[in-house]
Amino acid sequence: MKSDSLKRFLKNKLALSGLIIVLFFFMVSFLAPAISTHDPSEIDRENVLSPPSAKYIFGTDKTGRDVFSRMVYGSRISLKVGFVAVGISLVIGVFVGALAGYYGGVTDAVIMRFVDIMLCFPAFFLILAVIAILEPSIWNIMIVIGITGWMGVARLVRAEFLSLKERDFVLAAKAQGAGSMRIIFGHILPNAMGPILVAATLGVAGAILTESALSFLGIGIQPPTPSWGNILTEGKDTIEIAPWLSLYPGLAILVTVLGYNLLGEGIRDALDPRLKEGVSE
């Protein structure tokens, strides 16, 4: 099954394109000190709003800082927010969904009604409300995005557990005297990792987009720390005379989110058993 899934993934050109994009931004983030041509906080007052040139390949902003270097270091912030926020949402969503799906009955009904209530609140406006109360720091943003994005994961995990808990390997584990927690996390959860992996990949794209939106509104990552969202914000006031300030962060957000979406869709298609017959053709 794993071999067939890998074959289907490798045949999917869009999925491979998404993987290449994701790996590219990983490398940019990891090699930021070596790639950046200037200190992202360095101010060159003689080159304020300078267009792209040999010295500043992405130009400079309204205070004379190198946009390319800020973009490179901003990739670290965006990826960190994406992965930490998704990690938080996965931990909560998997635990809640696993309990609901495994125990069923009253436990399932109570948990899923709470999930339904949470889903009634528009997630972005809930994030805005919480961030407005708390100090807009990177950790607060990651935590808030994480604790407001677990409901979809919980529903997905619950559906997987409802299906898997009736399988023979679970009945065999129960017959051997395995406890509920061992069955949930040692037997059922590993077999439900495929859909969870897809949800995590797509969730990273959503978290990056949310962080960028918050930073664009001025309540996300605060200057002078560079993020794609606040670089985009700085460019909106000078878009007519310095369009590069909005162009490059906008493209970075677009391409990154597209890459994670393509990768997530590719993984989902590769794990879909209905496509199994297409491998042999």
pLDDT > 70 in the chain, percent: 95
Q: Is the pLDDT of residue 1 over 50?
A: no
Distance CA 272, CA 3 (A): 13
Quote the pLDDT of residue 62.
85
Residue owning tokens 């992965």 = 83
What is the DSSP code string of 80-133?
A: HHHHHHHHHHHHHHHHHHHHHHHH-HHHHHHHHHHHHHHHHS-HHHHHHHHHHH
Quote the pLDDT of residue 110.
93
C-alpha to C-alpha distances, 207 to 82, 90, 96, nearest whole angstrom: 5, 12, 20
Quote the pLDDT of residue 281.
39
Q: What angle do CA 62, 68, 131 make, to 5 degrees?
A: 70
Distance CA 89, CA 58 (A): 35
pTM: 0.83
Quote the pLDDT of residue 274.
58
Q: Which domains does the chain have, with CATH numbers?
A: 2-31+60-279 (1.10.3720.10)
Q: Which residue has the higher pLDDT, 238 or 157?
A: 157
| Tens digits of residue pLDDT in 120-137 | 877 777 777 777 777 777
Q: What angle do CA 267, 269, 275 make, to 5 degrees?
A: 140
Q: Is the pLDDT of residue 101 over 70?
A: yes
Quote the pLDDT of residue 21.
93
Mean pLDDT, residues 165-192 taken together: 84
- Tokens standing for residue 197: 């992996």
